[in-house]
Structure 1
Amino acid sequence: MDDVIKSPDQITEEEGKGLVSLSRTAVEEYLKSNIIIDLQEVPYENWKKKGASFVTIENRYTGSLRGCIGSIIPVRELYKDVIHNAVSAAVRDPRFNPLKLEELPEVKFKVSVLSFPEELHFKDPYDLVNKVEPFKDGLILKYEDYQGTFLPDVWKQIPDKQLFLSNLCAKAGMPPDCWLKYPIKVFRYRTKTFSE
């Protein structure tokens, strides 16, 4: 697994800022010409490793969400993942209308690089609550065909652990008390976020 980003700490500030800039360029090109860009030369070795990323687009003035799409598991080179997720966050997030070219000056881009998810083993719901670390853990909740994830950033809006888990159940398309009643699986990951 040498060709995979295991920890977001592998990404330097310079590489991360470059990914943020790449995400904006990818969206701008797509909105202008409907083309998904690629790089002729990849400037950093880490960008060539498989990596999982989330791209978040926010209103520059209000901070409100305008689009957020990402990958939980590394499936392609990190820079390609960022390009793909940036375009998807701009035009394919089902919660929002597609971003328009004239909106670009009003939004800011954030790129989160994810660690490889690890399963969280717990005896019961209360053990789960005890093991979760607010503001650090991103969580993936799975049950049969249902799945949802929250980035660590979401703790800012939902700092209560039980509410966090209830909202995550709902995001996965299940009843909010699914974490109390269903034999769910939970995976945790950490992120490093770079922003404009």
Structure 2
Amino acid sequence: MPSTEFSHEQQKLMIEIVQDSIASKLELQSKNEPIDYDSISKLSWLNKSAATFVTLSINGELRGCIGTLEARRSLLKDLQSNAVNAAFYDSRFEPVSVSEYEALCIHISVLTAPVELSVLNEKELLGYLRPGIDGLIIEERGHRATFLPQVWQQLSTPLSFLQRLKLKAGLPIDYWSEYMRFYTYQAIDVFDHDRHIRN
């Protein structure tokens, strides 16, 4: 995927793809102009392999977040799949209901390819992390977790960011091992500027 921002029209279409995917699962008809999937599936930028996360919120509260860390399918298919999974299959939440649909706010993150960090200790790792810029993946013999760059809004220091990510991965906050692997990535953010899904 390109490292630059998407155009306004591209962002709008990406949001509408997420909206439409959720609406279809809820068996709702969107009042937005129907998406011509035969046409958009031929767009080169939607056919490029991409890894995305779809984050859903209602009134500022998280309502679902699911994504992929490696680019293994087209941007179009990744958005469709992650939209449905975030809305209906995030194990932390009940499935999104019809009554919640119009209140959903969408945030799409298109990820760059993860880059492994070669570090000898936690202090060195913390020195690599750039608040507000880097997402981080932790892997440790069966444990794996990530925080998107947007999480820096809640956890503003590298230490708090790393400690909470360890907990998410099922590890103690002071855990360290020579077997741990760390990867950073960045994200191109696409927002639902209207703050609502229009039914």
Normalised to the residue count of structure 1, the TM-score between the two structures is 0.88
Q: Is the CA contact 1:119–1:185 (under 8 Å) kept in the aligned structure 2?
A: yes
Structure-1 separation of matches of 2:116 and 2:145: 14
Identity of aligned residues (%): 32
Change (3 A) 1:154 1:38: farther
| Alignment partner, residue 39 of structure 2 | 41
What are the residue-to-residue correspondences of 1:47-66 with 2, within 5 Å?
47-59=46-58, 62-66=59-63
Q: CA deviation at 1:160?
A: 1.6
SS in 1 for 2:139: strand
SS in 1 for 2:4: helix
What are the residue-to-residue correspondences of 1:82-161 with 2, within 5 Å?
82-161=79-158
* Structure 1: gaps (5+ residues): none
Q: CA deviation at 1:118?
A: 0.6
SS in 2 for 1:119: strand
Change (3 A) 1:13 1:185: farther
- The residue type equivalent to 1:52 in the other structure is A
| Alignment partner, residue 164 of structure 1 | 161
| Alignment partner, residue 72 of structure 1 | 69
| Alignment partner, residue 185 of structure 2 | 189
Structure-1 separation of matches of 2:36 and 2:66: 19
Q: CA deviation at 1:182?
A: 5.3
Q: Is the CA contact 2:22–2:84 (under 8 Å) kept in the aligned structure 1?
A: yes
Q: CA deviation at 1:38?
A: 9.3
Q: Is the CA contact 1:16–1:111 (under 8 Å) kept in the aligned structure 2?
A: no
CA RMSD of aligned residues (A): 1.8
Structure-1 separation of matches of 2:138 and 2:126: 13
Q: Is the CA contact 2:5–2:188 (under 8 Å) kept in the aligned structure 1?
A: no
Q: CA deviation at 1:78?
A: 0.6
Tell me the alpha carbon deviations over residues 156-177 of structure 1, each in whole angstroms, 9 at most, x when there is no partner: 0011211111111111122222
